[in-house]
Amino acid sequence: MNTRKLKRALPLYLMMLPGLVYLVINNYIPLAGLQLAFKKFKYVEGIWGSPWVGLKNFAFLFKTRDAFNLFRNTVGYNLVFLIINTILAIVVAIMLNEVRSGMVRKVSQTLILIPYLLSYVVISYIVYALLGQSSGMINNSILVPLGIEKISWYTRPEYWPFILTFVQAWKSFGYHSIIYYATIIGFDKSLYEAAAVDGAGTWKCIRSITLPLLKPTIITLTLMSIGRMFYSDFGLFFQVPMNSGMLQKATTTIDTYVYRGLMESSDIGRAAAAGFLQSILGFVTVLAANMIVRRVESENALF
Amino acid sequence: MKTILKKLTGILLAASLVFSVTACGSEAPENTEDNENANTAVSEQDGEAAEEAQNEQTSQETKGESEKIVVPYMLTMNAAEEREMVQDAINELTIPDIGVEVELLCIDFASWSDQLNLLLTDGGVDLFNCCFMSPVSTYVDSGAITELDDLLEEYGAGIRDCLGKYIESGRFDGSIYGVPKVDAYSNRPCVVMDAEICDELGISPDDIHNFEDLTQVALKVKEAHPDLAIFPTGTNGDFMGPIGFDPLGTTGNNVFGGLVLADNNLEVVNIFETEAFETMIGYTNQWMEKGLFVNDPMNSQDGAVSYLSNRQAFCYMGGGFDPAVTAEVQQNNCGMRLYGAELADTNYATTDSVSGMMWCIPALSEHKEAAMKFLNALYTDSELANLVCSGIEDVHYVKQEDGTIDFAEGLDAFTTGWPSGMGTFWPNITITDPWKPNSPDYYQTWIDSNDHAVLSPAMGFTFNPANVTDEIAACTNVVSQYYNAIVLGLDDTESLLETFRSELKDAGIDRIIEEKQAQLDAWAAEK
Amino acid sequence: MNSRSDKIFSRVSTALMILLALICVFPIVLLFMSSITSEGALLKNGYSIFPEEFGFDAYQYLWFSREKILRSYVMTIASTTVGTSLSVIITTLFAYPLSRKNLPGRNFFAFFVFFTMLFNGGMIPSYMMWVQTFHIKDTFWALIFPSLLLSGFAVIMMRTYFSTNIPDNILEAAMIDGASEFRILISVVVPMSKPILSTVGLMTALAYWNDWMNGLYYLTKRTDLYTIQNLLNRLITSADFLSNNQANSMIAANIQVPSVGVRMAIAVIAIIPILVIYPFFQKGFIKGIVIGGVKG
């Protein structure tokens, strides 16, 4: 790297300085805690002085008959969520952009963000209001009038992949679509005007201008989700099914297993080990995904 | 990519170096002049000599001025506005008496465990109640708390006197690490019922002694009040109570091996495979079948008492040293008349029933002696105990003629500046004046009950789960999957029970039981 | 121009958006109705839009804490404003250089940011860092600094926006005119990026408004600095604690707390921020930016 180039980049580096310093303080230095995954934490000795125990802390994740189930559920749900969220968010963002009435656009933009603000505990009550066996609205107001027998939702795991997916999408679609919406309204308007002059309709514009221009954003967001592939939202998988044991086949994930398993002992080393494993698996996956993106379209790669 | 990783490791290394340096460096100014001594005392494992040195040095230090300690206090609602007022009153007593200045730190119940775990890392507290946290054994195992033997010897005579034989429940691997609060230690499972309905149907609490009697009563009530549910919830562990077992250090429904107390021996058995467990399921399944539970008991929304006080259920199952007293206490909460009836005939005391609330001193505390002095005063000084349990006389409470106390004029549980219901949090509520609806000798009945309690043969034994943590994690997950479904008979109970037992075996319940048995045998041999 | 099908498309979009908005509003109605239902009816029938019996105990319980609620609103507004402003500035300063294709080490820095999204060292080391080295415990800054100030997600989102929506040749033109990097950022990039600045601002503001972890862990002695979320969180957990522990007879406080209703009432209160914050940022979502004369 020659001096001239560096000199030109210097102001850019200076701009990044506050952010870099913050990340080092807030994120990088505390990473020292990762070593707890391989240690038995002793308060008196602190993080650095605690004795090493090798991979012992990881064993509890695999000592269960459910180990395969845990990983399959976690990754499976994340994949489905990723696909559905992306499609839904783009569709909503495009629709929002097409709404002509300013009032409808503004009000609906605000309202679709509301579910994002509710905690999963509260959402679990709402879901219960709908699905409760004896007093739930779906059983009482829909199934019974139609002459269908009541369904005991909280004991039948087969319905829950759909319920969880729906709840998750409902909670987060507003938030995701705002990101896409912001990107869409930032596009160069002259492109659309030129297309209109050429006689292209809305549908054509979406296909040949909006979607291609959205590609970098879609790729970025997808790559970021892939990094969290082995994490699951504890609230969604624990609170929303109301910790019902009979649903466990469909609702157990790495995080709920760890929570239930460590409830008794709050073992810092084991908790750290679970987190470390989730991170490292996500990390490897995202590196692979990024490599593929780089092969195909290097400028859209994350790094 | 490789280069990126390389660079990153470099940065990480540098960063962690900074971290270790700053972590050490920043501690220094917080310590007093004698931090060198204190540090060596902490870092030396077999630090008896060092400890002695420290003792000497602190006692010299306290001659002149008082030593300040931080004691966290649990908050259950938005009260404790007048913390400083109470704190000042405490210090008026403790500074001249024992040379200790106390700072009270209010922590929410909900974040109690999280916050204390953090405070334990930096010596931010000097004395704490280990309730609602992990079992004391985990803190012993991770070196978070200090041995109390020497401190008790020197400053804790009053504590020893108060606790007598029960002090043994805080012994782990030969040393005492925690002291239990003074309490009615024994427990007898009971049922608390709506008295109005009982009277209406001629049900007397004296007629109920077990699940069979209760079932008859429940059916009778259901017949008379078809709309009323009998049992509020299926999701807590209260049904297990009448089985009468010592869980040996595991909590809630997670009973991985225990002693059947009626057998009075030291044989650890799998409670889930006992006949008593099957009998219990037989009853609960029957209740479910006959519609005696509230709607959707698995998803119950609230504590059992709320169902009673809102007249949505007839009774709930609980515990306590005396069913009548349990009912009386609840009566005040519910604002309705209640009867208590026993579901078993013996009051058992186990290590677990004694050690629910242990007072411990953090290993990183720099004021261990002062903490012990203050703790000793909490057990023995009734003026101090009244202060922490009930607040300041004539400000928060007033004395009644009969010796009980009541809220000061214009105050109630919501508006008082010092929480009134949390007296049992402190080490010794039994030397304070009881609150109004109770009798003046209320706490004497607590103490007396301990004399009649039947001790578990494993009383004083504490299980160290360190070797079987993985198995416990796996078994806990199995219990959460099957327990409620089996108890409430949501599916074919017989086959579910079979799967439950076999999955527990796969998850390693036998290893836990073996470990418990081995530790128990070693403990008995030593004894 | 086939404007007829365009119109249909727009109408359908409008109808669907209204439908989606209704689906999102339904829970609020349910929450609100439940919060004014009597505790007995809640326990018997569960939550319902048409309560059997009304009851206002939940709001009465909250009313006891009205002074604190007001004070904590002030703290929330203060921390949200300060935190969001600082955060948007730092994020923008960080994201812009990352979007420059000729920045030496660009990939490394992007990776440096992304890495923080994957790995974290846990609560204990962060706590020790902020408390022992920076002494922010029991200060206002405890609400601002730990964990919330800069999110890797926001940086990467903004970087992607800059590199997608701001053509290189505009930057080059500005550079030829002799503008400094800082000048370019302020007078070229920022005005063209209002939508993403608003989005990031909104996300950050919501994160600050909703946060209760910082207050919980770092404000042990100065509970007067509690934000509204800390306070609401405390009210909920106290109500839950009391109602669940009465059966243990540990607590003999003569208190009946409508715990189910309180949760609902608090959830209703907690929705207020979106209605307060959103309009501020909505101004940024302006359609129709025309980048004149530039063809990519």
What per-residue confidence (pLDDT) applies to B274? 94
Same domain, C33 and C65: no
Mean pLDDT of C272-290: 77
Average pLDDT across chain B, whole number:
83
Same domain, C154 and C184: yes
pLDDT of residue B40 exceeding 60: no
What per-residue confidence (pLDDT) applies to B301? 65
Q: Is residue C265 part of a domain?
A: yes
Total tally of structural domains belonging to chain A: 1
What per-residue confidence (pLDDT) applies to C291? 60
Q: Taking CB atoms and an 8 Å cutoff, what residues of chain C touch B26?
A: 132-133
User: Which residues, 6 or more positions from B380, have their beta carbon under 8 angstroms from its beta carbon?
Assistant: B158, B159, B161, B162, B428, B431
Mean pLDDT of B118-125: 86
Overall pTM surpassing 0.90 (yes/no): no
Total tally of structural domains belonging to chain C: 2
What per-residue confidence (pLDDT) applies to B204? 94
Q: Is residue C28 part of a domain?
A: yes
Chain B contact present for C211, CB below 8 A: no
Mean pLDDT of B476-491: 90
What per-residue confidence (pLDDT) applies to B36? 37
pLDDT of residue B43 exceeding 60: no
Q: Is residue C290 part of a domain?
A: no
Q: Is residue A240 part of a domain?
A: yes
Q: What percent of chain A has pLDDT over 90?
A: 61
Query: Residue C9's domain spans which residues?
Result: 1-55
Question: Which residue, among A15, A11, A14, has the nearest Cα to C94 in the 3D structure?
Answer: A15
Q: How far is A8 from chain B (nearest CA, A)?
A: 23
What per-residue confidence (pLDDT) applies to B521? 96
pLDDT of residue B506 exceeding 90: yes
Of A54-58, B274-278, B420-424, the one with minimum mean pLDDT is B420-424
pLDDT of residue B56 exceeding 80: no
Q: Of C33, C55, C77, at which residue does a domain stop?
A: C55
Q: Is residue C291 part of a domain?
A: no
pLDDT of residue B364 exceeding 90: yes
Same domain, C83 and C25: no
Q: Is residue A21 part of a domain?
A: no
Question: Which residue, among C284, C7, C191, C288, has the nearest Cα to A193 in the 3D structure?
Answer: C288
Same domain, C240 and C121: yes
Q: Taking CB atoms and an 8 Å cutoff, what residues of chain C touch A49?
A: none
What per-residue confidence (pLDDT) applies to C205? 93
Mean pLDDT of B405-417: 80
A261–B134 CB contact, under 8 Å: no
Of residues B79 and B62, more confidently modeled: B79
Chain A contact present for B13, CB below 8 A: no
Same domain, C165 and C40: no
Question: Which residue, among A286, C11, C263, C114, has the nearest Cα to B306 in the 3D structure?
Answer: C263
Of A254-268, B10-24, B440-454, C140-154, the one with minimum mean pLDDT is B10-24
Which residue is closest to A242 within chain B, CA to CA? B299
Task: Note which residues in 61-80 of chain B have CB less than 8 A from chain C.
Answer: 75-78
Of residues B196 and B452, more confidently modeled: B196
Per-residue HEC secondary structure of B451-515 comes to HHCEECCCCCCCCCHHHHHHHHHHHHHHHHHHHHHHHCCCCCHHHHHHHHHHHHHHHCHHHHHHH
Q: Is residue A142 part of a domain?
A: no
Q: How confident is the model at residue B101 (pLDDT cuts 50, 70, 90)?
A: very high
Q: Is residue A112 part of a domain?
A: no
Question: Which residue, among B385, B426, B347, has the nearest Cα to B129 in the 3D structure?
Answer: B426
Task: Note which residues in 264-323 of chain B have CB less than 8 A from chain A.
Answer: 295-296, 298-299, 301
What per-residue confidence (pLDDT) applies to B37? 39
Question: What is the DSSP track for C191-202?
Answer: HHTHHHHHHHHH
C253–B419 CB contact, under 8 Å: yes
Distance of alpha carbon B168 from its chain centroid, rounded?
16
Query: Residue A65's domain spans which residues?
Result: 39-102+177-300
For residue A182, what is the DSSP state? H
Q: How far apart are CA B61 and CA B398, in angstroms?
A: 39
pLDDT of residue A165 exceeding 60: yes
Q: Is residue A16 part of a domain?
A: no
Q: How confident is the model at residue C236 (pLDDT cuts 50, 70, 90)?
A: confident
Mean pLDDT of A49-57: 92
Q: Is residue A241 part of a domain?
A: yes
Mean pLDDT of A53-69: 90
What per-residue confidence (pLDDT) applies to C196? 93
Q: Is residue C287 part of a domain?
A: no
pLDDT of residue B29 exceeding 90: no
Chain A contact present for B480, CB below 8 A: yes
Q: Is residue A163 part of a domain?
A: no
Question: Which residue, among A45, B245, B15, A113, has the nearest Cα to C25 in the 3D structure?
Answer: A113
Mean pLDDT of B134-145: 88
Q: What percent of chain A has pLDDT over 70?
A: 98
Same domain, C49 and C108: no
Same domain, C266 and C127: yes
Q: Is residue C293 part of a domain?
A: no
Question: What is the DSSP track for B14-43?
Answer: HHHHHHHHHHHHHHHHHS-TTHHHHHHHHH
Same domain, C112 and C200: yes
Instruction: Decide: C261 and C235 in contact? Cβ < 8 Å.
Output: no
Mean pLDDT of A109-132: 88
Instruction: Decide: B358 and B129 in contact? Cβ < 8 Å.
Output: yes
Neighbours of chain B (3+ CB pairs under 8 A): A, C
Same domain, C113 and C192: yes
pLDDT of residue A152 exceeding 80: yes
CATH number of the domain encompassing residue C107: 1.10.3720.10
Q: Is residue A252 part of a domain?
A: yes
Cβ-nearest to B420 among C253, C259, C260: C253
pLDDT in tens, B255-275: 899 999 999 999 999 999 999
Same domain, C147 and C261: yes
Q: Is residue C294 part of a domain?
A: no
Task: Note which residues in 7-36 of chain B have CB less than 8 A from chain C.
Answer: 7-8, 19, 22-23, 26-27
Q: How confident is the model at residue A285 (pLDDT cuts 50, 70, 90)?
A: very high
pLDDT in tens, A178-194: 999 999 998 888 888 89
For residue B137, what is the DSSP state? H
Same domain, C45 and C64: no
Mean pLDDT of B224-235: 83
CATH number of the domain encompassing residue A205: 1.10.3720.10
Question: Which residue, among B405, B318, B371, B376, has the nearest Cα to B182 in the 3D structure?
Answer: B376
pLDDT in tens, C125-170: 898 889 888 999 999 999 999 989 999 999 999 999 999 888 888 8
Question: Which residue, among B193, C56, C20, has the nearest Cα to A104 in the 3D structure?
Answer: C20
pLDDT of residue C273 exceeding 90: no
Query: What phi and psi values does residue C255 have, to the nearest 5 degrees?
Result: -130, 135
Q: Is residue C252 part of a domain?
A: yes
Task: Note which residues in 233-262 of chain A have CB less than 8 A from chain B.
Answer: 242-246, 248, 252, 257, 260-262
Same domain, C13 and C157: no
Mean pLDDT of B148-162: 94
Of A170-174, B281-285, B472-476, C6-10, the one with minimum mean pLDDT is C6-10
Greatest mean pLDDT range, B34-38, B40-44, C6-10: C6-10
Q: How far apart are CA A299 and CA A292, in angstroms?
A: 12
Q: How far is A238 from chain C (nearest CA, A)?
A: 18
Residues in a beta bridge with B353: none
